A and B are shown apart, each in its own frame.
Chain A
Amino acid sequence: AQKITQTQPGMFVQEKEAVTLDCTYDTSDQSYGLFWYKQPSSGEMIFLIYQGSYDEQNATEGRYSLNFQKARKSANLVISASQLGDSAMYFCAMNTNNAGNMLTFGGGTRLMVKP
């Protein structure tokens, strides 16, 4: 069984600054994928970034990067140059053995961007 832990229930960041959201995972599988999703107050989950367990380089997508440390089983999300629209819930998730989007999610972190 896999497990995702997000230890920060809430985070504040000043607009235009960078912020790191923590995620640790647990799985006995060798092949897995790690995802980050954003959930604004409207409710839909918006995909941000993906990292495969065999990817040697950290994933980046625009202002989002994933700090993947395999030995520590961590997959932290870094948001650079925070914007007011980044205020939302952020969820880390994983799949194993190429199980598509049958995902296990963490409990989430609420990010609040201050002007």
Chain B
Amino acid sequence: DTGVSQNPRHKITKRGQNVTFRCDPISEHNRLYWYRQTLGQGPEFLTYFQNEAQLEKSRLLSDRFSAERPKGSFSTLEIQRTEQGDSAMYLCASSSRSDTEAFFGQGTRLTVV
């Protein structure tokens, strides 16, 4: 499968725990995006990388959220001290410089209990 891969697909965690999600973009894509989608809503943009540089992070929801893309390939999104309101689908997307559209993964569904 050469699409965008996200792991895990599902994560259940207790309130207050830290969680980390991984995204492997399409191999030749240098741009990577994270979105959050709550139930019944459209995706909400969180952050953007071009290669290893995080070019937009002002839309991360709070300082409990952080993302990295250390070698310009895969990316991780970490949520510290999870809250019930963090329960959502977290989507990753990638694109190349010449692409108009982004290619999305199937998402990681987080449930905080």
Q: How far is the CA of A107 from the CA of B102 in the complex (A)?
A: 19
Question: How close is A3's CB to chain B, nearest CB, in angstroms?
Answer: 11
Does B100 make an interface contact (CB < 8 A)?
Answer: yes
> How many A-B contacts if CB must be within 8 Å?
56
Q: Do residues A47 and B101 form an inter-chain contact, with CB atoms below 8 A?
A: yes
A44→B107 contact, CB < 8 A: yes
Whether the Cβ atoms of A102 and B33 lie closer than 8 Å is yes
> Using a Cβ–Cβ cut-off of 8 Å, how many residues does chain A contribute to the interface with B?
22
The reply on B95 being an interface residue by CB < 8 A is: yes
Q: Which residues on the A side are within 8 Å of B33 (C-beta)?
A: 101-102
CB-based contact A93/B42 at 8 Å: yes
A-B contact pairs, 14 of them (CB 8 A): A35-B101, A43-B106, A44-B107, A50-B100, A50-B101, A100-B48, A100-B102, A101-B93, A102-B33, A103-B43, A105-B42, A105-B43, A107-B40, A108-B40
9 cross-chain pairs, A with B, having the tightest CB-CB distances, nearest first: A105-B42, A101-B102, A47-B101, A45-B104, A44-B106, A43-B107, A43-B106, A50-B100, A91-B42
A residues with a Cβ closer than 8 A to B are 4, 33, 35, 37, 42-47, 50, 91, 93, 100-108
